[in-house]
Amino acid sequence: MSGLSNWFQGIDLSRIIQWLMFAGAALIAISVHESAHALSALWLGDDTAKRMGRISLNPLRHLDVTGFLMMVIAHFGWAKPVPVNPYRMTKIKSPKVGMALTAAAGPVSNVLLAFLFGIGYEIAMGFLVKGLVAGSVSPEGPLYYLMQFLYVCFVLNTGLAVFNLIPISPLDGSKILAIFLPDKAHAWLMRYERYGMFLLIALLLWGKLDGPLDLLRGGLMDAVTAVARPLAQLLIGA
């Protein structure tokens, strides 16, 4: 029994809580991101994703187990691709523009989520500070962990929004880039689309994306906070 007791004592509970928070935040972000793709395609006339049940906040509809585990462990992962047919988007003339709009819906949804979680984080932090001053809450009580979770959701969604705008296939940015390219250049790009993931992984392992991504994510976080903080303070009367 002493060995089992020592094993439990050796568990880093704070690290497990952090992983669980990140996993929960990732499930929320993935579900909204993928549903936004499916919903935008439907708005443009293509119901392919809807018929496959992809307009849903149920994470199981979008979850790729390997991609999710990679996201939690390595902070780089993926979900099931949302099937769309740009030639069925009858509400817009150009299939290329239709694909770009559908792709952009994912990062936009993450920015909106970041804004909501940013407001929630600022509100939770405000109540926590008030409670600590009044002596009515614990420094590491439920409100503290709620604040931590909201912050993880905030950071994760800003990171996903920026990361998915990288113009390398299969990320959303590559489809947005396509509308700015001549047809000949776009056709050449599509010919090598299958190698995009390998290029992306190589750049990540090489560390060449770390600096630009951190800079852009930090800028987006600052911009969202600049709007979210005054609104949160207004709501809690600070």
Quote the CA–CA distance of 122 and 146 in Å, as a whole number. Answer: 11
- The count of other CB atoms within 10 Å of the CB of residue 108 is 16
Quote the CA–CA distance of 153 and 58 in Å, as a whole number. Answer: 17
Share of the chain above pLDDT 90, in %: 63
- 175: nearest Cα among 125, 107, 92: 107
Q: What is the pLDDT, as a whole number, of residue 190?
A: 77
Q: What is the pTM of this model?
A: 0.90
What is the per-residue pLDDT across 123-158, written as a single tens digit (0 to 9) for each?
999 988 888 887 777 777 889 999 999 999 999 999
Top-confidence residue, 12 or 175: 175
Q: How many CA atoms lie within 13 A of 157 on its CB side?
A: 29
Per DSSP, the residues of 171-194 read SHHHHHHHTTS-HHHHHHHHHTGG
What is the per-residue pLDDT across 9-43, written as a single tens digit (0 to 9) for each?
556 678 888 999 999 999 999 999 999 999 999 99
Q: What is the pLDDT, as a whole number, of residue 182?
A: 83
